[in-house]
């Protein structure tokens, strides 16, 4: 609902607080931008990421594209040695880490990631750390080039081509990927993704889509497929991402393709939203 101040991927300096155990003024922090209730069935099961009354900063309530931003101290995440730029990337990476945790990716298996935007790239990075063979799929060849040059992805498929099925069969020695993950949010891709899945495989939906998806029951049933959604992330995912960056296992700074002063953000948005612009992540800097 609008009007809404955006901003759920951010870092900042702690300038003022009533009570924030373990934190000091001047600390650089990021935050879990998910306000969970702490008492619903999901929260009690530790799944605060899918709380029944979840409010996401920048979506359901105002977010952090502001000079100052106030949040409950329980949402704060300490920098643990990371710089502010890396810290601002922890949230989108945590979405990827959570998706791979949901998929329970095993070493050596083929993982198809549909959509090579920032979330897709994060999924690929954590699938790589899980020892998987990654296949990147996107409509946009620039994004596939980025997968190859920055992430070292070996297998790339242009979505929408007529020979996608054959390419997947070739890459996977005729078996198809045992994990298919949608990070595109594109309805056609979501409906088609099941057909790319190996028998016995897991299909994980990370991207957002508002319409109804449609699968053929025989296609689903004959695979004994597992269908999973993956929503947001938990503090465990945030901590895992931070540890991975600290250990130099992932290099998220390459995702920042543009740096812009906060005051110039409004006029830049239409340009950045175009996938052909080559933009992966824009870092907005406040003074």
Nearest to 217 by CA among 228, 227, 229: 227
CA distances 81 to 26, 28, 77, 86, 127, Å, are 14, 9, 12, 10, 24
Output 53 or 243, the one with its CB closest to Zn ion. Answer: 53
Q: Nearest approach, Cβ of 136 to Zn ion (angstroms)?
A: 35
Residue count, binding to Zn ion (CB under 5 A)? 5
Q: Nearest approach, Cβ of 227 to Zn ion (angstroms)?
A: 23
Q: Nearest approach, Cβ of 51 to Zn ion (angstroms)?
A: 3
Q: Cβ distance 194 to 220 under 8 Å?
A: yes
Output 40 or 129, the one with its CB closest to Zn ion. Answer: 40
Output 36 or 184, the one with its CB closest to Zn ion. Answer: 36
Write the interaction track for Zn ion spanning residues 45-84; mark x where CB under 5 A is met and - where it is not.
------x---------------------------------
CA dist 19 and 98 (Å) reads 29
Q: Nearest approach, Cβ of 98 to Zn ion (angstroms)?
A: 17
In the chain, the N- to C-terminal Cα span, in Å, equals 29
Which of 43, 89, 103, 153 binds Zn ion (CB under 5 A)? It is 43
Q: Nearest approach, Cβ of 50 to Zn ion (angstroms)?
A: 8
Sign of CA dihedral 127, 236, 255, 82: negative
CA dist 159 and 162 (Å) reads 9
Output 178 or 232, the one with its CB closest to Zn ion. Answer: 232
SS3 label, residue 176: coil
**Ranges within 11-40 binding Zn ion (CB under 5 A):** 36-37, 40
**Which tokens hold the place of 70?**
């106030």
Output 47 or 158, the one with its CB closest to Zn ion. Answer: 47
**Ranges within 172-211 binding Zn ion (CB under 5 A):** none
Q: Nearest approach, Cβ of 46 to Zn ion (angstroms)?
A: 11
> Backbone phi, then psi, for 18, in 5-degree steps?
-80, -50
Q: Cβ distance 230 to 98 under 8 Å?
A: yes
- Which residues lie near Zn ion (CB under 5 A)? 36-37, 40, 43, 51
């Amino acid at each position: 609902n609008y009007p809404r101040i955006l901003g759920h991927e951010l870092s900042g300096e702690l300038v003022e607080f009533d009570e924030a155990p373990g934190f000091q003024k001047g600390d650089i922090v990021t935050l879990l931008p998910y306000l969970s209730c702490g008492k619903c069935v999901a929260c009690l099961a530790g799944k605060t990421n899918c709380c029944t009354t979840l409010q996401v900063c920048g979506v359901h309530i105002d977010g952090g594209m502001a000079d100052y931003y106030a949040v409950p101290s329980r949402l704060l995440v300490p920098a643990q040695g990371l710089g502010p730029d890396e810290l601002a990337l922890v949230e989108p990476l945590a979405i990827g880490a959570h998706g791979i945790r949901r998929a329970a990716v095993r070493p050596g298996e083929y993982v198809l990631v549909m959509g090579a935007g920032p979330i897709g790239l994060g999924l690929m990075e954590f699938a790589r750390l899980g020892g998987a063979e990654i296949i990147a799929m996107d409509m946009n060849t620039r994004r596939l080039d980025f997968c190859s040059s920055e992430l070292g992805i070996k297998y790339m498929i242009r979505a929408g081509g007529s020979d996608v099925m054959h390419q997947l069969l070739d890459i996977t020695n005729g078996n198809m990927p045992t994990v298919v993950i949608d990070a595109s949010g594109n309805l056609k891709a979501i409906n088609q993704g099941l057909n790319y899945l190996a028998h016995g495989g897991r299909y994980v939906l990370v991207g957002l889509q508002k319409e109804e998806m449609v699968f053929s029951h025989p296609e689903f049933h004959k695979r004994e497929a597992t269908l999973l959604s993956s929503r947001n992330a938990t503090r465990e995912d945030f901590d895992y991402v931070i540890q991975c960056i600290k250990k130099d296992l992932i290099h998220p700074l390459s995702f920042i393709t543009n740096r812009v002063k906060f005051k110039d953000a409004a006029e830049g948005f239409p340009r950045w939203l175009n996938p052909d612009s080559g933009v992966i992540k824009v870092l907005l800097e406040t003074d």
